[in-house]
Chain A
Amino acid sequence: MAVYEQKAVKKAPSNSKGVIHWLKSNLFSTPLNVAMTLLGLAILFWIIPPFVQWAYTDANFSGETRSDCTGDGACWVFVKMKLDLFMYGFYPQEELWRLKSVLGLFVVQLFAFKFFKSIKHKFISFSIYLIIAFILINGGIFGLEIVPTDKWGGLMLTIVVAVVGIVFSFPIGIIVAFGRASNLPIIRSVCVTYIEFIRGVPLITILFMSSVILPLFFPEGITFDKLLRALIGITLFQAAYVAEIIRGGLQSISTGQYEAADAIGLSYWQKMLLVILPQALKVAIPNLVGAFISLFQDTTLVLIIGLFDLLAMVRITAADSTWLGMETEGYVFVTIVFWAFCYGMSRYSNKLEKQFNTNLK
């Protein structure tokens, strides 16, 4: 037998080995990887230079009419001249300050989010923001003129649809997910039917149904705003997906957590909201953000029931006889806007996840 001396603590070898090492291990590690890397580079060389030439080098930025464009590259004059239409649809020119204030207040809201540490305060400040935003956009009180929803359009409509869809589908989805996990057979089967029905039908159908069929259930004479109908359809659609995602989160919580919550005397709702839901949401965040990103993209479908979101505005302005043939510029613009929003959301979700993770460590 032997006794060994205690070892001194050594520093771990460094992990970073420089750019060359990174390239070697990530891009050129196997013959297949080398081939893929070269192919990738070739495609980039094939696509990027002509695109830059079209979108920047040969493009026209200044001027006010079509004749200011040489036609060699992109005619950004079109986007510049129609920007208000793309952003705000047919919202009256003299009321645009209201939408701009909503945007300005959003920046204020972002600072408030940084400033408030507790979730409760964040929630309250966001709710207040939403209410103010609604009052500004819709009008009707404080001497603000009502702007009817058929004047709403462009990016602003896209955002309204997406935000309403996200904000309202979230609590409904949570309740449906709880219902699906409930012990009461009636509640459970109602929730299962709802989820399975919605998930079996594409959003387009839901939109048609809510815009055409929903009014049939209301007595003659009661008209029901077209946008509102679309919003109800989208919210109900999204809620089913949110419910399924949250159900996944709920299933990942061990029964021990439920029992501990029961044993310390919490009521059903206290147990679900204080103990189970926060843990389930943490698990569900990546999928929830994924679902919200696809909702944001799917909002473009509202154009088929006659609402003019960003994409629809681009289509109709490009059909304008003075700007005929400008679709490409318009669609590139739409692509960039959508990409920026979706990328932003996905970054934000990464941040949220990290925050939650440090909490749980």
Chain B
Amino acid sequence: MKNDNIIEINNLNKWYGDFHVLKDINFEVKKGEIIVICGPSGSGKSTLIRCINYLEQFQEGTIVVDGIEVINDIKKIKALREDVAMVFQHFNLFPHLSILDNLTLSPIWVKKKPKKEAKKTAMKFLERVGIAEQAEKYPNQLSGGQQQRVAIARSLCKNPSIMLFDEPTSALDPEMVSEVLDVMIELAQEGRTMICVTHEMGFAKKVADRVIFMDEGQIVEENTPNNFFDNPESDRLKLFLDQILSH
């Protein structure tokens, strides 16, 4: 790669059947950047970040992540997924495995780490997100906020260079949002590249380098966090902010 872009997306187009869900997306992310993506429901935010780790296939355009071209090739996809982690809205922990086993699954089976070492690393990350004492429990025994922190710890276990977050706090009860955001802010301050789909303005203002507004499958506006929320340029963003801030 000629520059320090860790993600390069060129002319990305994607359709679900006849429905044009992503329209000519062009977008770069530099190493260590924190990007926040906002936009109305159904605007294609999830679809966009899911293309980055190939959970979704796309028909046109190119995505290059950390030097790996995202195409349908088992080896490339494997390398890609070792490098890119994802945290989901609904946590998606594995309910049949203990918290600790949730974390060690990928290190043991994908990276072929010895069990002991995998457990040690896992405990280290559980400690960081403040759930070490729950390691032997099962996901359903934890609160939503705790589960999401476990999910973050699970995604950290492979030491990814890029982390994708898809509305990590929208399925949480209000009193649990901050415990998850605190963990994310800490991660952001460590210099890991992060792309977060979220409407948490406080988070965006605190750590984001850029905020991107998507609507109807397009990137409509890109701005610094302060300008984004306080001096939006496009009318569509103004309307959107009015809607989310009006109550």
Contact = CB atoms under 8 A, between A and B. Distances in A.
Q: Are A and B interaction partners?
A: yes
A256 B55 contact: no
Contact of B140 (A256, A264, A265, A361): A361
A274 B92 contact: no
B138 A257 contact: no
A263 B88 CA distance: 10
A278 B94 CA distance: 10
B134 interface: no
B155 interface: yes
Interface string B153-176: 011001000000000000000000
Given A259-B55, A360-B138, A361-B138, A270 B88 contact: no
A260 B91 CA distance: 9
Contact of B155 (A261, A264, A278, A359): A264
A14 B198 CA distance: 48
Which of A254, A259, A267 counts the most chain B CB atoms within 10 A? A259
Contacts of A257: 92, 94
Which of B85, B96, B106 counts the most chain A CB atoms within 10 A? B96
The bracket for how many chain A residues form the interface is 20 to 34
A275 B82 CA distance: 18
Contact of A361 (B88, B106, B141, B158): B141
B81 interface: yes
Tell me the dominant secondary structure on chain A's binding face: helix
A259 B88 CA distance: 9
A125 interface: no
B146 to A, nearest CB: 15
Interface in B69-111: 78, 81-82, 85-86, 88, 90, 92-96, 105-106, 109-110
B105 A264 contact: yes
A279 interface: yes
B53 A263 contact: yes
Interface in A236-273: 254, 256-257, 259-267, 270
Contact of A262 (B55, B82, B94, B95): B55
Nearest to B141: A361
Contact of B158 (A262, A265, A279, A282): A265
A189 B213 CA distance: 44
A270 B92 contact: no
A274 B90 contact: no
Contact of B93 (A259, A260, A263, A267): A260
Nearest to B157: A264
Interface in A345-361: 359-361
Contacts of B55: 259, 262-263
7 contacts: A254-B92, A260-B92, A261-B94, A264-B105, A274-B109, A275-B94, A279-B95
Given A257-B92, A263-B53, A360-B96, 8 more contacts: A264-B106, A265-B81, A265-B82, A267-B78, A267-B110, A270-B110, A279-B95, A360-B138
| 8 nearest CB pairs, A to B | A260-B92, A264-B106, A256-B92, A265-B81, A263-B86, A265-B110, A278-B96, A270-B109
Interface of B: 53, 55, 78, 81-82, 85-86, 88, 90, 92-96, 105-106, 109-110, 138, 140-141, 154-155, 158
